[in-house]
C-alpha cells in the first residue's frame, strides 16, 4: 500500500470519526453541546484537524444529516423489501 493511499484512508477514518462523534453528542446532549472545542477533545485531535476536514460546525452538521438520511433510506428500503406487499410496507 502506498503512503498516499494510507494517508487517504486515515483521512477518511478521521472524517468518519468526527461525524460519528458529532452525531453521538447531538443525540445525547443536543446540538448546543457540539462545539469544535468539545469535538476536538472527544476525538483527541486538535481543532485545526477538524477544520482540515470541515469548514465549521455547519459543515459537520450537514455531514451528520447526510449520513442520517442515508441510514434512513437504507432502513426504508429494507422495510419495503421485507414486507410481503405495499400495504404491509407502510404498516
Whole-angstrom distance, CA of residue 42 vs CA of residue 50:
12
54-80 per-position pLDDT tens digit:
999 999 999 999 999 999 999 988 888
3-state secondary structure of 35: coil
pTM recorded for the entire structure: 0.81
Left if phi > 0, otherwise alpha if psi is -120 to 50, otherwise beta: which for 44? Answer: left
Task: List pLDDT tens digits, range 30-39.
Answer: 999 999 999 9
Q: What domains are defined for the chain?
A: 3-90 (1.10.357.10)
Amino acid at each position: 500500500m502506498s503512503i498516499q493511499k494510507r494517508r487517504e484512508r486515515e483521512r477518511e477514518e478521521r472524517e468518519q470519526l468526527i461525524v460519528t462523534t458529532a452525531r453521538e453528542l447531538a443525540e445525547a446532549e443536543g446540538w448546543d453541546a457540539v462545539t469544535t472545542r468539545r469535538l476536538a477533545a472527544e476525538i483527541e485531535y486538535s481543532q485545526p484537524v477538524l477544520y482540515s476536514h470541515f469548514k465549521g460546525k455547519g459543515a459537520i452538521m450537514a455531514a451528520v444529516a447526510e449520513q442520517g438520511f442515508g441510514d434512513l433510506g437504507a432502513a426504508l428500503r429494507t422495510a419495503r423489501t421485507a414486507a410481503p406487499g405495499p400495504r404491509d410496507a407502510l404498516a
